[in-house]
Every structure is written in structure tokens, then in C-alpha cells.
Amino acid sequence: MKILPGILILMALILALGFFMHRQTVELSADLVATLELLRQKVEVGQWEEALPVAEELKRKWERTNAWWTPFMDHREIDDLDQSMVKVLSLVEVRRLDDLLVEINLAQRMAARILEKERPHLRNIF
């Protein structure tokens, strides 16, 4: 009988940690996608000087996200998104609009895809 409360507490902790990790993943992914969208809006209208602080903010957010996601998720996806973020930041510096817009789309799609794969859903389990 003493084992049952211990098992219940352990299960509650596992569920709580799972919900916390899912919430963090949702927030971090949404934050990255929103910042990428803001960057896109700035560069599409030629506001390159305003885009530089947004790029710095994106860099900070990506570093935080990368530190959180790396221990818990597929490293290939994180590495691909990391390469895309490096390209986005570099393309802002050199002001290459066409390549930057393509890379922003790619980075947004990868961040959204990571979120979809981490969502608790039956198709993600099987």
C-alpha cells in the first residue's frame, strides 16, 4: 500500500513535466515565428536599419530556444533550424532581400514543423 502513493506522485510529476515542456515548446516556437514575421515585414518595405535590432532580438531568442530544445528534441531538426537562423542573420547583414525572404520562410516552416512533431497527438506516437 505504501507503493501506490509513490507511483501516483511519480505519474503526476511526469505529467506535469510533460505539460510544462509542451507549453515551453509552444511559446518558444510561436515567439520565433512571430519575430521572423516581424523581420520579414521590415525588410520587405526596405527598413533595413529597423531590421537590424529585430535580427539581434531573433538571435537572442534563438539562443534561448536552442538551449531549451537541444537536450529534448531531434538534433537533426534543431541543427537544420540553427543553420537556417545563421543564414537569416547573415543575409540581414548583407541585405540580400530575395535570399532572406526564402530563408525566413524556411525557418518559419521548420519551427512550425518542430512544434507539430512535439504536439501530443496519436499520429506523433505511431
Q: What is the pLDDT of residues 82-108, one digit of tens each?
A: 999 999 999 999 988 889 999 999 999
Residue 76 domain-assigned (yes or no):
yes
The CA distance from 103 to 34, in Å, is 15
Residue 110 domain-assigned (yes or no):
yes
The CA distance from 92 to 73, in Å, is 28
**Domain that includes residue 41, residue range:** 25-125
Residue 117 domain-assigned (yes or no):
yes
Q: What is the pLDDT of residue 121?
A: 62
Crossing angle of the two packed helices 75-94 and 3-44, in degrees rounded to 10? 20
Q: What is the pLDDT of residue 40?
A: 93
Question: For the segment 28-76, what is each residue's pLDDT rounded down to a tens digit?
Answer: 889 999 999 999 999 999 888 998 999 999 999 999 999 888 887 878 8
What distance separates the 2 farthest-apart alpha carbons in the chain? 69
DSSP-derived secondary structure letter, 119: S
Share of the chain above pLDDT 70, in %: 92
SS3 35: helix
Residue 107 domain-assigned (yes or no):
yes
Question: For the segment 25-39, what is each residue's pLDDT rounded down to a tens digit?
Answer: 889 889 999 999 999
Residue 12 domain-assigned (yes or no):
no
Structurally, how many domains does the chain consist of?
1
Put simply, whether the predicted model's pTM sits higher than 0.75 gets the answer yes
Count of beta carbons in the 10 Å neighbourhood of residue 83:
14
Residue 13 domain-assigned (yes or no):
no
